[in-house]
């Protein structure tokens, strides 16, 4: 059983994350056939909807919920949309100028923890299943708030170089951005160095 990191409650992990989906059959295929996650529970809801639970690991699940009259989610407000793969860089295409990343209270993206040495294999496996996927993003921080996606694009004079996580990105059937992330080093106290931003005051 995993040990809690909380100093206030015995929270042992994420029990489940619930996502509202547009098409339950398509979603079930994605989780069971593409991601290979077992279906653990599937039931009708009292309001006419449906809910399914998929196993992600021994301690964490994803729940998907379908409602017969679910409104369409607005990308950039409800979630960070997967915008495709940039042909030049192999990375997630940047959002068009003026496009919102995601609204406060929304889910920006969902990252699954995977072994670092498996990301290239998983990238090809997703593509073989018809799911667009980026190349590995190395998330190399340097200088003052700058970031490079690969060692080859680091400036020669880059300082304070720090690679802490690698990622590949792909969409779920509803267009949300999903990620296979792999830590490249443990997080340490020196990783917490900034002053938290405050909410902007509304007129």
Structural tokens at position 163: 């690679």
Q: Which pLDDT belongs to residue 203?
A: 63
Q: Where are the domains of the chain?
A: 1-68, 80-187
Select 80-187's CATH number: 3.40.50, 3.40.1350, 2.40.128, 3.10.180: 3.10.180
Indicate the pairing of strand 16-20 with strand 61-66: parallel
Q: Where are the beta strands (DSSP E) in 21-148?
A: 39-44, 50-55, 61-66, 110-113, 140-142, 146-148
- Yes or no: say if 56 and 38 are a contact pair by the CB < 8 Å rule: no
pLDDT for residue 111: 96
What is the distance between the alpha carbons of residues 78 and 100, in angstroms, rounded to a whole number?
10
Number of H helices, E strands in the chain: 2, 10
Q: For domain 1-68, which architecture applies?
A: Roll (3.10)
Residue with tokens 């495709």: 84
Confidence (pLDDT) at 120: 95
How does pLDDT run along the chain (203 residues), one tens digit per residue? 788 889 999 998 899 999 999 999 999 999 999 999 999 999 999 989 999 999 999 889 999 999 998 888 887 788 888 889 999 999 998 777 767 778 888 888 999 999 999 999 999 999 999 999 999 999 999 988 899 999 999 999 999 899 999 999 999 999 999 999 999 999 999 888 888 888 887 76
Q: What is the residue whose two structure tokens read 């979603």?
A: 27
pTM: 0.91
């Amino acid at each position: 059983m995993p040990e809690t990191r909380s100093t206030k409650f015995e929270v042992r992990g994420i029990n489940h994350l619930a996502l509202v989906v547009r098409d339950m059959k398509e979603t079930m295929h994605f989780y069971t056939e593409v991601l290979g996650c077992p279906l653990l529970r599937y039931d009708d809801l009292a309001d006419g909807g449906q809910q399914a639970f998929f196993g992600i690991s021994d301690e964490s699940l994803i729940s998907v919920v379908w409602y017969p009259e679910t409104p369409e989610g607005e990308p950039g407000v409800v979630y960070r949309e997967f915008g495709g793969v940039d042909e030049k860089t192999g990375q997630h295409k940047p959002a068009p100028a003026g496009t919102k990343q995601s609204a406060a209270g929304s889910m920006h993206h969902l990252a699954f923890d995977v072994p670092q040495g498996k990301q290239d294999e998983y990238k090809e496996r997703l593509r073989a299943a018809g799911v667009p996927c980026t190349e590995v993003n190395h998330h190399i921080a340097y200088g003052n708030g700058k970031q490079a996606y690969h060692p080859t694009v680091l400036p020669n004079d880059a300082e304070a170089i720090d690679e802490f996580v690698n990622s590949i990105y792909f969409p779920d059937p509803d267009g949300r951005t999903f990620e296979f992330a792999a830590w490249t080093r443990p997080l340490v106290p020196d990783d917490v160095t900034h002053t938290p931003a405050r909410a902007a005051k509304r007129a």
